[in-house]
C-alpha cells in the first residue's frame, strides 16, 4: 500500500511537472514584439499631443476669461468716468465730448485745406474731396445729435433715405438706453 501511494504521488508529480514546464516557458516573437513596441510608442505620442493640446486650450480659456474680466472692468470704469459730479449722468459728458469732437473737426478742416492747397502732389483733388466728405458727415452727425438733444425726429438707420421712418421723441418715446446708444454711435463716428 505504501508503494502504491508513492507510485501514485510519483505519477501525479510527473504528469503535473510536464504541464508546469509549459506554463513557465516564455516565447519571444520578434514581429509581435515590434508591433507592440510601435503601438505603445505611437499611443504615447498621441497622448502627449492630446495633453499638449488640452493645455493650450486651457491656457487660451484662461486668457479669454482674464480678457473678459478686464473688459468688463474697463467698461465700468469708463462708465464711471463719463458721469459728471452734477448728477446729469453719462449722457451729458457724451454730449460735451460730441460737441468738442465736432468743433475740433470743423476747426481743423480749413487748416488742412490750406495745407493741401499749398502742397504739390498728384492726389490733391482726392484729398480735398475727402475733406469735403468729412465736413458733410460731421454736419450730418451733429444734426442727428441736435435731434436727439431736442427730442426731435431721428431717422431710422435700418431703412433707405426715401422710405426712412422718423421716430418722434417729442413725448419722450426714446428711453435713456436708446439715447445713450445713439449718442455713443455718433461719438464713435466722430
Residues sharing a CB contact under 8 Å with residue 176, sequence separation 6 or more, in sequence order = 89, 91
Q: What is the pTM of this model?
A: 0.40
CA 170/CA 86 separation, integer angstroms: 25
Q: What is the distance, to the nearest Å, from the Cα of residue 150 to the centroid of all Cα atoms in its chain? A: 37
CB 186 within 8 A of CB 145: yes
* Burial category of 3 from C-beta neighbours within 10 Å (exposed 0-12, middle 13-18, buried 19 and up): exposed
Write down the H helix ranges in 83-158: 90-118, 124-149
Report pLDDT for 76: 80
- Predicted pLDDT at 53: 95
pLDDT tens, residue order, the chain (190 aa):
778 888 878 887 767 665 555 556 677 788 988 999 999 999 999 999 999 999 999 999 999 999 998 888 888 877 666 654 454 566 677 777 878 888 888 888 888 888 888 888 788 888 888 888 888 888 887 777 777 766 545 554 544 455 455 555 455 556 666 777 777 777 777 6
Amino acid at each position: 500500500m505504501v508503494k502504491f501511494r508513492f507510485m501514485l504521488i510519483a505519477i501525479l508529480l510527473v504528469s503535473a511537472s510536464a504541464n508546469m514546464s509549459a506554463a513557465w516557458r516564455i516565447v519571444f516573437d520578434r514581429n509581435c514584439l515590434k508591433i507592440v513596441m510601435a503601438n505603445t510608442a505611437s499611443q504615447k505620442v498621441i497622448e502627449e499631443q492630446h495633453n499638449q493640446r488640452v493645455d493650450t486650450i486651457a491656457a487660451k480659456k484662461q486668457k479669454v476669461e482674464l480678457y473678459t474680466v478686464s473688459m468688463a472692468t474697463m467698461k465700468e470704469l469708463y462708465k464711471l468716468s463719463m458721469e459728471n459730479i452734477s448728477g446729469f449722468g453719462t449722457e451729458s459728458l457724451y454730449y460735451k465730448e460730441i460737441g468738442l469732437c465736432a468743433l475740433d473737426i470743423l476747426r481743423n478742416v480749413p487748416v488742412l485745406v490750406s495745407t493741401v492747397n499749398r502742397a504739390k502732389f498728384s492726389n490733391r483733388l482726392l484729398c480735398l474731396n475727402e475733406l469735403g466728405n468729412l465736413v458733410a458727415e460731421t454736419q450730418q452727425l451733429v444734426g442727428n445729435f441736435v435731434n436727439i438733444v431736442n427730442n426731435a425726429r431721428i431717422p431710422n438707420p435700418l431703412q433707405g433715405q426715401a422710405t426712412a421712418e422718423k421716430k418722434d421723441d417729442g413725448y419722450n418715446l426714446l428711453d435713456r438706453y436708446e439715447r445713450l446708444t445713439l449718442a455713443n454711435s455718433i461719438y464713435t463716428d466722430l
